[in-house]
Amino acid sequence: MTFSLFFATMFAGFLYSVIPGPAVLLVFSLAAQHGRGMGAKFLIGHMAGDVTWSALAFASIVGVSQTGPLLFDILGAGCGLYLIYLGITAMRAKSVGEAPVLRGHRPYRAGFLFGLTNPKAYPVAVAVFTALIARYTLELTWSSVPLMGLSAWIGIVLGYVCTLFWAGLPIVRRFFLTHGVIVTRVIGATFVLFGMKSLVDAGRSFQMR
């Protein structure tokens, strides 16, 4: 496993954890209402889901890459389209749902259950990791999966730290509570950009063949 693949996977893990879906938006809401501590506990529990879905994404990506680069490119294009769909949906949002208040003070358990049952986690993980490591098709083998998992986990932890840092800033807390729709639309634009990158990478690969 090359250093470039290691860092690309780590960066993908970082992006997977900081590009907000329902979980990260919930962390921002929890931090805005209850402070960083509540958000941190939620994310620690949520890590189980992120690690699980990332591992399944690796298994899918490596399995497809071993059957031929054409199928890998098709997967990349499909994931790119999915990211664009999610992004456009978010950019058209007119409201942000209220984050549930953890009245039972069990944020670890809530994060754990939320992470494992989030229906969008797996396709988003596949989409983000595919978009970032598609160029390393020839390096993807089953023996590289453990190191890929380690690098992705490092990226996820760094993403959690950044998320909590920003979510806990007073100005961010006030802004999120007041302008949550704007945040959601910016998130949507980010998804669209990564989806377009995945499509471009797949198109270049098709042209090379």
Cα 144 to chain centroid distance, Å, stands at 21
Residue 83 to residue 154: CA distance in whole angstroms: 23
How confident is the model over 33-65, as pLDDT tens digits? Answer: 778 888 888 888 888 877 877 777 777 777 655
- What pLDDT is attached to residue 158? 94
Query: What sign for the dihedral angle of Cα 176, 182, 187, 190?
Result: negative
**Which of 194, 198, 200, 197 shows the shortest CA–CA distance to 88?**
194
- What pLDDT is attached to residue 75? 66
How confident is the model over 115-173, as pLDDT tens digits? Answer: 776 655 666 777 777 777 767 766 777 777 788 888 888 998 999 999 999 888 888 88
Structure tokens at 99: 């984050």
| More confident call, 114 vs 67 | 114
**Which of 25, 70, 27 shows the shortest CA–CA distance to 180?**
25
| More confident call, 25 vs 5 | 5
Residue 39 to residue 55: CA distance in whole angstroms: 24
